[in-house]
Amino acid sequence: MRAIHPYLDVSDCSDRLSGGVRLVPITTPVGEFRVWTKRVGRNPRCRVLLLHGGPGATHTYLEALDSYLPAAGIEYYHYDQLGSGWSDRPNDPSLWQLDRFVDEVEQVRNALGLTSDSFVLYGHSWGGILAIEYALRHGDALHGLVISNMMASVPAYNAYAAEVLKPSMDPTVVREIGALEAEQRWDEPRYMELLIEHHYVHHVLRLPYESWPWPVVQGFRDINPEIYVRMQGPSELGIAADATLAQWDRFEDLVRIDVPTLVIGATYDTMDPRHMASMAARLPRGSYLECPNGSHLALYDDQETYM
C-alpha cells in the first residue's frame, strides 16, 4: 500500500501529468512507490536534477531557482525525494538510509533519460551529501556536479557546530535549547523561538523571520520528521550520535570524483566555509564560490553572487 500525499490524488493518473510533472516509479526493498518530478525548460546540452535538503524537506524552497535558470536556458528538474513533498510517503523506517536514496536517484536519472553528455547533479545541504555519494558510485553517469552549502564530513560539521556556532551564541540560550532537546520538547513554541532568534536568522537565512519567503517557510513546515530525526537527529546544532548520518565522511574520497564540480559556500553558513573551500581544492576538477553575504540559504540572502 502506497502512502500518498494527502493533497494530491494520483490514484488514476498516468505516469506523465501536465505542466512537465511526472510521477516516476521506483523500486525499493519493501515495494514500489512513485516520486514527483517536474521538468522546466528544454536544453539537451545542460540538464540539471535538483536534490533538496532536509533530509525529508521538499523541493519547494528551491523554487528560487525558477527566477534565474530559465533565463539562462537551462533545463532542470524539481524532485521530491521519497517520503517528501508530493511523492509517496511510506511509513517504513528501513527506507531512510543513504544507500537507498542513492539508488533512488539513479532510478530517477534513468527514468528521466539523463545521460553523461549533459547531466548535472545539484545537491543543496543534505542533497549535497546525496550528490557526493551518488558521484562516487555513478560518476560515469555525470557531466557535472554542484555541491551547495554542505561539508563532506559530518564529524567535521559537528566539530564546527561545537567550536564555532554554539560559542557564538548566548550560553544561557545554548543551555536552554539543549535542555529542551534532551527532554524531546521540540514541538514547544519556545524551542523554535530560541532557534529563530539566535540561530536561524544568523546562519540559515539572514533576513528578518517575518519576511522569510513563503517557499522557505513552507519548506520548513513540510519537513517529514520521521526522515529528519532518523537520519540527522532532532537538533539544529549538530547531528546526533545515533543518527544514520553520524559517521558519514567522504572528504578523503573527493579525489575520486573526476567531473567538473562547483562547491558553493557562504560566509555565515551553518557549514564551515573553509572546509567547503578545501573540498573544492581536493576535487580533481573542483572550483569554489563563496557568497560573502550569504548563509545556509545563500540562494535567497546572497542571490546576486549565488545565481
- Which of 105, 109, 95 shows the shortest CA–CA distance to 131? 105
* Residue pair 131/123 in contact by the 8 Å Cβ criterion: yes
In a 10 Å sphere around its CB, with 0-12 CB exposed, 13-18 middle and 19+ buried, how is residue 185 labelled? exposed
C-alpha cell of 100?
A: 537507498
* Residue pair 303/64 in contact by the 8 Å Cβ criterion: yes
Q: Residue 208 contacts by C-beta under 8 Å, 6 or more apart in sequence?
A: 201
Tell me which residues are annotated as active site: 125, 269, 296
Q: Which residues pair with 266 in a beta bridge?
A: 291
Per the omega criterion (within 30 degrees of 0), is the bond before 55 cis?
yes
Pair type for strands 144-148 and 119-124: parallel
